[in-house]
Copies of this chain bind each other. A is one copy, B any other.
């Protein structure tokens, strides 16, 4: 049981209506790894600069995340994103993006990371995703995420990545951008037709929809009163989902459904505090209780006419 993940590890400075976090632990691969680490073993491929705080390294080690693949460029600075959310928590307002060492990042897959159960390609340039696929040996399953930027400027290369993976995790706006189709079902089916057997569409506060072969499953999101910081919710979702799936004997529709609820559970925790602060103190008992909340949330009786 192990997942090899590649993507960004960052420092995030975030302001929302609920407060501010300065240079907190962020990045897609980091959010994914922390969430998945509650379920399985994680091998992380990424890059940070010499300014990356030791406490963050200590935290990731404490969560049993293997950091052999984390390059540290002592002379460089860590990717730093500065952003804000106003009333609408669905729209991040980017104030500054300092790619720093992430701009020239060339992922290296350590030998011990090769042939993992699952390979997860978090949101990075599709060229790098292809490079990692070519160097990761033979994973049992390859899954990926992406973002609007790559659909916009490198759609053709992105499509090559999609052809090579088994599972695509993508949000609803990106489905429309990628396929030009406004209908969720038609758009997801179009992505399946590019190759992947499984497409999971993230819809933020509306939950997620799973398309696996010809079957469909709709997962609700937990209605939350205070979204303190939505950053990384999608990556946390993917981490919980893939982490649970890695525990399962095989990737079936039934296991995928439960995995999506696990992802939703982890995302629902993540937005409760800044960065990954909520997950720092999360227990397995918390996860089980929240899972039960999700069971109750969508539960209803039969009817007769």
When the two chains form their complex, are residues A185 and B224 in contact, meaning their CB atoms are under 8 A apart?
yes
Q: Nearest CB to that of A87 among chain B residues?
A: B182
Q: With an 8 A cutoff between CB atoms, is A205 at the interface?
A: yes
Given contacts A217-B300, A297-B216, A297-B218, contact A223 B291 (CB under 8 A): no
A residues with CB within 8 A of B:
38-39, 87-89, 182-186, 203, 205-207, 209, 216-221, 223-227, 244, 254-255, 257-258, 260-262, 284, 287-288, 291, 295, 297-305
When the two chains form their complex, are residues B302 and A295 in contact, meaning their CB atoms are under 8 A apart?
yes
Q: How many copies does the complex hold?
A: 2
Given contacts A287-B305, A288-B305, A295-B302, contact A205 B218 (CB under 8 A): no
Given contacts A217-B298, A261-B300, contact A182 B225 (CB under 8 A): no
Q: Nearest CB to that of A227 among chain B residues?
A: B183
Residues of B within 8 A of A298 (CB): 217-220, 298
12 intermolecular pairs with C-beta atoms under 8 Å apart: A183-B227, A184-B205, A220-B220, A220-B298, A254-B300, A255-B301, A257-B300, A257-B301, A258-B300, A258-B301, A262-B303, A284-B305
Residues of B within 8 A of A219 (CB): 298, 300
When the two chains form their complex, are residues B297 and A225 in contact, meaning their CB atoms are under 8 A apart?
no
Taking the closest CB of chain B, its distance from the CB of A250, in whole angstroms, is 14
Residues of B within 8 A of A88 (CB): 182
Taking the closest CB of chain B, its distance from the CB of A268, in whole angstroms, is 12
Contact check: which of B206, B257, B302 meets A203 at CB < 8 Å? B206
Q: Nearest CB to that of A248 among chain B residues?
A: B303
Given contacts A295-B302, A300-B258, contact A186 B217 (CB under 8 A): no
Taking the closest CB of chain B, its distance from the CB of A40, in whole angstroms, is 11
Q: Nearest CB to that of A203 among chain B residues?
A: B206
A-B contact sample (18 more), CB < 8 A, given A217-B297, A288-B304:
A38-B305, A183-B225, A184-B205, A184-B223, A209-B223, A216-B297, A217-B299, A218-B221, A218-B297, A218-B298, A219-B300, A244-B303, A261-B300, A284-B305, A291-B302, A291-B303, A295-B300, A295-B302
Taking the closest CB of chain B, its distance from the CB of A288, in whole angstroms, is 6
Residues of B within 8 A of A244 (CB): 303
